[in-house]
Amino acid sequence: MNLIKGLIFTCIFCSFLLLINMFYKETIKNNLPTPIPKNYKRVLDTPDFDLEIFKASNKIKVLHFFNPDCPCSKFNYKHIQSLYKKYKNRVEFVAFSTKNCDNPFEFLMLHDSLNFNAKKYGVYSTPQAVVLDKDGKIIYNGNYNKSRFCSNKSTNFVEQILENKLNNKKINLIASSPYGCSIFNN
């Protein structure tokens, strides 16, 4: 009887250690900067913005790149929705999903499963934002926040960019390394 109890305890203990190990690895992975893919070329010039929906618009544009399977993209969902609700009358939003899925947003979502637009705008991890000015020039390309949960007000990068640009203030913000899920195989 003691042998059976010992085996049961050992199985439960090993399962517990395995779960802790899996959680720890996932947490560490999502808190480290996303590795830069081989052959990555930083986008210095703004590519032609060829989405017909924006051609006639003279608004600032937020391009939201996300992967519905990425934990960081899931954590970012409420934050991007709150940005949309706050700025929807003054800023155009469009999401690009790296996988085919239903649209979870209150704004337009396009499938970018071949990563055409991600490559075009120099995006290699999700979630990531590209902000274009009224002329379609890239004014920001990077993560939404330094905090994984978008909870650090002092590093709400996209919101700061939008506030500064909408209020004709100087933009001198550079994002830290992108965090999240890589969209390219290294």
How high is the pLDDT of residue 186?
A: 47
Q: If DSSP codes are grouped into helix, strand and coil, which group holds residue 17?
A: helix
Averaged in consecutive runs of 10 residues, what is the pLDDT profile of the chain (186 residues)?
77 74 58 60 54 71 92 88 95 92 92 86 88 86 72 78 90 69 73
Q: How far apart are CA 76 and CA 149, in angstroms?
A: 6
| Paired strand residues for 62 | 93, 131
DSSP 107: S
Check: CATH 3.40.30.10 for 58-182? yes
Domain spans of the chain, in order of start: 58-182
Q: Could you please report the per-residue DSSP string of 31-69?
A: HSBPPPPTT-----SPPP---HHHHT--SEEEEEEE-TT
Task: State the pTM of this model.
Answer: 0.75
How high is the pLDDT of residue 149?
A: 57
Q: Token pair for residue 38?
A: 């081989």
130 Cα distance to chain centroid: 10
Q: How far apart are CA 130 and CA 49, in angstroms?
A: 12
HSE at residue 97, side-chain half, CA atoms within 13 A, is 16
How high is the pLDDT of residue 18?
A: 73
Residue type, position 2, single letter: N
Q: How far apart are CA 150 and CA 152, in angstroms?
A: 6
Q: What share of the chain is helix, strand, coil (3-state, %, to 5)?
A: 35, 20, 45
Q: How far apart are CA 94 and CA 61, in angstroms?
A: 8
